[in-house]
């Protein structure tokens, strides 16, 4: 009977976990989509960039979705058993809820292994790719093909370009171009038409103006020069190639091992927290899901969310304190997990006290 009940409850938890995690991932993707689309609209990212950023963002946020999904799935699955009096019937037959802990911990251990691979390997890689992709897309948007009817800035805002319209052959009409040198000298060019081409693999661009005037001088002085031209080419240098990022979130885990830098130590301990959190939340979720008679099956969901919110925020605070050197690396974020472990054991003790204590309160069993 024991193995049958454990398999039954475990199947309920797994099915609920798949459903809850699927819903959370869908909400995450919707939020990610709206945020990335807003950035794409502001910076003119390409469609492929949007899809890649959404996928990478989903990978980075799975380390948050998976633990809370497991916590909610255990609370919901066991809450249904309590609500439908199935757990009461099992307890009447001598089956303690504490006997569900081994299969639940085994399932959470499998999830913790996968989550460890995700947080130690995939999340830093996805974070780095996301940052590099966003920077590359921003560079391409700023130094890509010029559009008509819109001001475009180059060289950190030192060069401004505007064209009234563009024809089917890609020729720009009624063009305005302004550049400012490091010495403060201003150059303004107005032309009837212009073309825009890339002239090198290093990102160099050239705007060629036709039939226009160029005005050169320093604002506030009267010695401006006016030059009429038939053709005038202006080179525009794109920013240098992206070398990478020093964000500790993007560093490979092997690079963090053995480091004495408090920031790297905090990052490594924080990455270790997600798998440990899964096990601690499983320990807390079992007694947390207990319902009193006539309580709704969703009664403990709000409390479970509060538990996860407090747990995750304490980890974030401990990480910050460790980065600032206010906590010893030996204490680090481990005291948060120790606190969660103690809370879980206390709740489990209250929910299913050991048999010898039950005998002490109820007297010896009849012969």
Q: How confident is the model at residue 367 (pLDDT cuts 50, 70, 90)?
A: very low
The per-residue pLDDT for 240 is 53
| Weakest-pLDDT range from 79-88, 103-112, 138-147 | 138-147
Do residues 322 and 263 touch, judged by C-beta distance below 8 A?
no
The whole-number average pLDDT for the span 345-353 is 79
What string of DSSP letters covers 35-72? HHHHHHHHHT--HHHHHHHHHHHHHHHHHHHHHHHHHH
Mean pLDDT of the chain: 80
| Weakest-pLDDT range from 113-127, 211-225, 255-269, 277-291 | 211-225
The per-residue pLDDT for 215 is 86
Report the candidate in 209, 334, 216, 355 with the shortest Cα–Cα distance to residue 270.
Answer: 334
Q: What is the pLDDT of residues 255-301, one digit of tens each?
A: 888 888 888 889 899 999 999 999 999 999 888 888 776 677 777 88
The total of other beta-carbon atoms located within 10 Å of residue 366's CB is: 4
Global pTM exceeds 0.75:
no
Q: Indicate whether 133 pLDDT > 50.
A: yes
The whole-number average pLDDT for the span 189-201 is 78
The CA distance from 233 to 214, in Å, is 12
Tell me how long the chain is.
367
* C-alpha distance from residue 348 to each of 71, 272, 300, 342 (Å): 15, 25, 16, 10
């Amino acid at each position: 009977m024991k193995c049958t009940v454990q398999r039954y409850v475990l199947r309920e938890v797994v099915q609920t976990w798949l459903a809850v995690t699927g819903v959370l991932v869908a909400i995450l993707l919707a939020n990610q989509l709206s945020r990335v689309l807003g950035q794409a609209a502001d910076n003119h990212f390409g469609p492929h960039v949007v899809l890649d950023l959404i996928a990478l963002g989903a990978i980075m946020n799975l380390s948050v979705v998976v633990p809370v999904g497991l916590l909610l799935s255990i609370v919901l699955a066991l809450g249904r058993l309590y609500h439908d009096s199935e757990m009461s019937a099992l307890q009447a037959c001598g089956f303690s809820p504490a006997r569900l802990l081994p299969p639940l911990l085994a399932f959470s251990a499998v999830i913790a292994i996968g989550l460890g691979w995700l947080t130690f390997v995939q999340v830093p890689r996805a974070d780095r790719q996301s940052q590099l992709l966003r920077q590359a897309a921003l560079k391409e948007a700023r130094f890509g093909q010029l559009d008509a009817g819109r001001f475009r800035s180059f060289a950190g805002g030192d060069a401004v370009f505007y064209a009234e319209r563009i024809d089917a052959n890609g020729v720009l009409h009624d063009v305005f171009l302004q550049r400012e040198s490091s010495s403060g000298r201003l150059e303004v060019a107005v032309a009837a038409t212009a073309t825009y081409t890339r002239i090198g693999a290093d990102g160099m661009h050239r705007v060629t103006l036709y039939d226009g005037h160029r005005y050169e001088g320093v604002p506030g002085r009267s010695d401006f020069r006016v030059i009429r031209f038939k053709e005038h080419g202006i080179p525009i240098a794109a920013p240098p190639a992206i070398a990478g990022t020093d964000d500790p979130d993007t560093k490979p885990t092997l690079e963090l091992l053995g480091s004495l830098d408090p920031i790297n130590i905090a990052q490594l301990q924080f990455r270790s927290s997600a798998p440990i959190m899964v096990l601690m939340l499983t320990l807390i979720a079992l007694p947390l899901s207990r319902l009193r008679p006539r309580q709704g099956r969703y009664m403990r969901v709000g409390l479970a969310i509060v538990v996860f919110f407090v747990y995750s925020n304490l980890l974030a605070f401990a990480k910050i304190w460790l980065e600032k050197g206010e906590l010893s690396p030996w204490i680090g974020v481990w005291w948060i997990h120790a606190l969660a472990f103690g809370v879980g054991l206390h709740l489990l003790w209250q929910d299913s006290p050991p048999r010898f204590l039950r005998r002490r309160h109820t007297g010896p069993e009849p012969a």
